[in-house]
Chain A
């Protein structure tokens, strides 16, 4: 019998489910960290798990990996119940933690080999896998370097190599691009795409919404331990009231002009700041010509004009709110 408290579940697109969580509940004393969460992830997906700080993402992943006991619910990976000693399942999982988790005293190659050895005991097979992982992240020139000699971007790449060297079927990436430059981030995101094309299912958590939008096929947004929205990025954008955002460089804008634009159909809000007029429209509507027409009628000249569709960031902020979570 379904739990009446169960929140919206996410059903996988493919018939072959790699991750299945149903009615997961995890409490820390009185605090409910995960509240009847259900989700399913199909083989070959890149699944985005989003949420503000403290929303329960990491707790969910820790429960998924059996690092934490949980109070209620079922977790199945690859069709089998996940337990702390499910080593056959763990063999198929790769972890890329948010914090760079490598041995400072070992070289790049030794690090990758060391973590790979926890899954692949045969040294000849491992040598091949380590070569491939190092090549995959482009660290061939740095094989003999110790982590302290590597830049932030190279360290992140090493962190990824350590998590994927044993060629896992399910890769869990927890904010793998934190504090890296745009070039490295681009390289990492390309790499994730390649891993996925090679058949890996990926669970990706990040606070960079444009990354999630770029690589994730489906997204689940968590807040207060519950699933508050899920679907493809387009589906999520369609769920919210926010639509196109129009920015016009006007130099000046009188109250009358702002009011006349505000009266246009589908306009939700109008702001003028630092020489830019920002118009937020309702979802599904295209108001650029109406806004420019209103300016023309009032004889207001304009320079640059930008029209942006809603982003996942808008979705995230509309669903989870704009108040600061770490301070609440």
Chain B
């Protein structure tokens, strides 16, 4: 059997077209996803503005403004709204903006009005969002400041004790983070899990091809092997094991690539992840073996089936995810019967669930599917070899 396994592994590893689908395809798709999702990230991320401040007498006269801007500059880099640079006069600030050293600059007029001057170059480079965010922060300061001044005039005694300021400034919303899941939700992780499921599906081609090589009706090699003194079940197990080794390796490489290059969070430790990959690849190989016993089944048809089943894992975008969700809620048995959904959910369970219950359920379902597929493949192989030549 060891030689059967070795033969199967060598044949699969040297089949370049197969390697494209089982190894190169998930890596390429991961890069595509990275490029797509990084675009979304950029679109929603905060871009800090390089703010010039004209530090003249009018500016100095506005109480608390400088402190407010300084506090914005002290925020962590990811949430920093602006990085201030001070200029003695507006002319210097305008020149700096023209040279591209700053994106915008703030002036305080003689009548106490604020003006945020934004360079066209900055808008072209970063859009209007940074300036909008900055102006919102300054507006908030101005309104709060006006309200404090107004209230202080009405109640000078309270103002003298600092109670007015405390009332306005202390009454702000605090953001506290919490999570309902074991790990923080990652809106893109499910796409990568679906991609791993699709990788497993594509890997079924390996088992399909090795199984076809055992059938006397599909190839001369199959006829020659089926006439040997090695029982058919041993050859099937050997071929399946060889295909599984290849598929396991390909999926593991894809997972490592996603984790290290695309920084996909898989949540759990290495052992459950390796187990998930092992079970997933075994199930896909068993399905591939079953497909291999069907007459006229080609590798292209296996990839077609995989693409169809991937639709119900949400791989193809929000619309596909809505279809998947609709199927899960309206016909859960149908959704769960999809091995690619089980594989995708296997990784999903590891990331989001506190316990391993859901993960274990997925693994057991996949193992059950494996047994059923292998039993059917065995029956079909026996039929094909003895009656359908």
B143, CB-defined interface residue at 8 Å? no
B14 interface hit (Cβ, 8 Å): yes
Contacts of B228 in A (CB 8 A): 90, 115, 118-119
Contact with A along B307-349 (1 / 0, CB 8 A): 0000000000000000000000000000000000000000000
Give the residues from 83 to 124 in chain A that come closer than 8 angstroms, CB to CB, to chain B. 84-85, 87-88, 90-91, 93, 95, 97, 99-103, 105-106, 110, 113-115, 117-119, 121, 123
Taking a contact as CB atoms under 8 Å apart, the answer to whether B224 and A117 are in contact is no
Among the stretches A63-71, A201-209, A213-221, the one at the interface with B is: A63-71
> Scoring B residues 206 to 233 as 1 if CB is less than 8 Å from chain A, else 0, what string do you get?
0000000100100111011111111100
The distance from the CB of B81 to the nearest CB of chain A, in whole angstroms, is: 60
Nearest chain B CB to A116's CB is how many angstroms away? 9
User: What CA separation (Å) do A103 and B213 show in the bound complex?
Assistant: 9
Q: Is A162 an interface residue (CB 8 A)?
A: yes
CA A115 – CA B213 in complex, angstroms?
A: 12
Q: Name the A residues within 8 Å of B227 (CB-CB).
A: 65, 67, 90, 93, 95
Stretch in B3-11, B88-96, B278-286 touching the partner: B3-11
Interface size on A, residues (CB 8 A): 33
Q: In the complex, A85→B228 CA distance in Å?
A: 10
Judged by a CB distance under 8 angstroms, whether B180 is at the interface is no
In the assembled complex, the CB of A281 is this many whole angstroms from the nearest CB of chain B, namely 44
Contact of A269 with B by CB under 8 A:
no
Let me know if B124 is at the binding interface, CB within 8 A: no
Q: Are A62 and B11 in contact (CB under 8 A)?
A: no
A113 to B2, CA, bound (A): 12
0/1 interface trace, chain A 48-73, chain B, CB 8 Å (1 if under): 00000000000000100111110000
CA distance A102 to B223 in the complex (A): 11
User: Which single member of A66, A90, A102, A162 contacts B386 (CB below 8 Å)?
Assistant: A66
Of the candidates A68, A113, A163, the one having the most CB atoms from chain B within 10 angstroms of its own CB is: A68
Q: Among residues 163 to 196 in chain A, which have CB atoms less than 8 Å away from a CB atom of chain B?
A: 163
Contacts of B216 in A (CB 8 A): 67
| B246 nearest CB across to chain A (Å) | 12
Interface check B186, CB cutoff 8 A: no
Inter-chain contacts of A68 with B (CB < 8 A): 386-387, 389
Chain B residues with CB under 8 Å of A102's CB are 221
Cross-chain contact B7 with A110 (CB below 8 angstroms): yes
CB under 8 Å from chain B, chain A span 105-150: 105-106, 110, 113-115, 117-119, 121, 123
Of the candidates A110, A115, A117, which one forms a contact with B10 in the assembled complex, judged by CB atoms under 8 Å apart?
A: A110
Q: From A84, A101, A110, give the contact of B221 (CB < 8 A).
A: A101
Closest Cβ of chain B to A175, distance in Å, is 12
Q: Is B66 an interface residue (CB 8 A)?
A: no
Counting CB contacts under 8 A, is B357 at the interface? no
B15 to chain A, nearest CB (A): 6
A101 touching B7 in the complex, CB below 8 Å, given contacts A87-B231, A119-B228: no
Is B145 on the interface with A (CB-CB < 8 A)?
Answer: no
- In the docked arrangement, what's the CA distance between A110 and B225, Å? 15
| A105 close to B389 (CB less than 8 A) | no
Bound form: Cα–Cα A95–B225 in Å? 10
Chain A residues with CB under 8 A of B226: 67
Find out whether the CB atom of B220 lies under 8 angstroms from the CB atom of A101.
yes
- Docked-complex contact A105 and B14, CB < 8 angstroms: yes
Minimum CB distance partner of A98 in chain B = B220
Q: Decide: A99 near B220, CB < 8 A? Known: A65-B227, A91-B229, A118-B225.
A: yes
Q: Are A84 and B14 in contact (CB under 8 A)?
A: no
Asked if residues A84 and B229 are in contact (CB atoms below 8 Å), the reply is no
Interface residues of B in 226-285 (CB under 8 A from A): 226-231, 235
> What is the CB-to-nearest-CB distance from B47 to chain A, in angstroms, rounded to a whole number?
52
The answer to whether B3 and A113 touch across the interface, beta carbons within 8 angstroms, is: yes
> In the complex the two chains form, what is the Cα distance from A93 to B227 in whole Å?
9
> Cβ of A119 and Cβ of B230 under 8 Å apart?
yes
Whole-angstrom distance from the CB of A23 to the nearest CB of chain B?
A: 21
Residues on A with C-beta less than 8 A from B223 are 67, 95, 97, 101
Interface presence of B385 (CB below 8 A): yes
Q: With a CB–CB cut-off of 8 A, which chain B residues contact A115?
A: 224-225, 228
Q: Is the CB of A118 within 8 A of B220?
A: no
Of B14, B219, B389, the residue contacting A62 (CB under 8 A) is B389
Check B224 against A103 for contact (C-beta < 8 Å): no
A119 with B229: in contact, given A66-B386, A67-B389, A103-B11 (CB under 8 Å)?
yes
Contact B221 A103 (CB under 8 A): yes
Q: Is the CB of B387 within 8 A of A69?
A: yes
B28 to chain A, nearest CB (A): 23
A101 to B231, CA, bound (A): 19
Bound complex: CA A114 to CA B3 (Å) = 6
Distance in Å: Cβ of A252 to nearest Cβ of chain B: 53
If the complex has contacts A95-B227, A118-B225, A118-B228, are A100 and B220 also in contact, measured as CB distance less than 8 A? Answer: yes
B residues whose Cβ falls under 8 Å from a Cβ of A: 3-4, 6-7, 10-12, 14-15, 213, 216, 219-221, 223-231, 235, 385-387, 389
| Given A101-B220, A105-B15, A114-B3, 11 additional A-B pairs, CB 8 A | A67-B226, A67-B227, A69-B387, A88-B229, A90-B228, A90-B229, A97-B220, A101-B224, A105-B14, A115-B225, A118-B225
Pairs across A and B, CB under 8 Å, 20 listed: A62-B389, A67-B216, A67-B227, A67-B386, A67-B389, A69-B386, A85-B231, A87-B230, A95-B224, A97-B220, A97-B223, A101-B219, A113-B3, A115-B224, A115-B228, A117-B3, A118-B4, A118-B229, A121-B3, A123-B3
Name A residues whose Cβ lies closer than 8 Å to a Cβ of B.
62, 65-69, 84-85, 87-88, 90-91, 93, 95, 97, 99-103, 105-106, 110, 113-115, 117-119, 121, 123, 162-163
The 8 A-B residue pairs with the shortest CB-CB distance, nearest first, are A117-B3, A101-B220, A118-B228, A105-B14, A91-B229, A99-B220, A90-B229, A101-B224
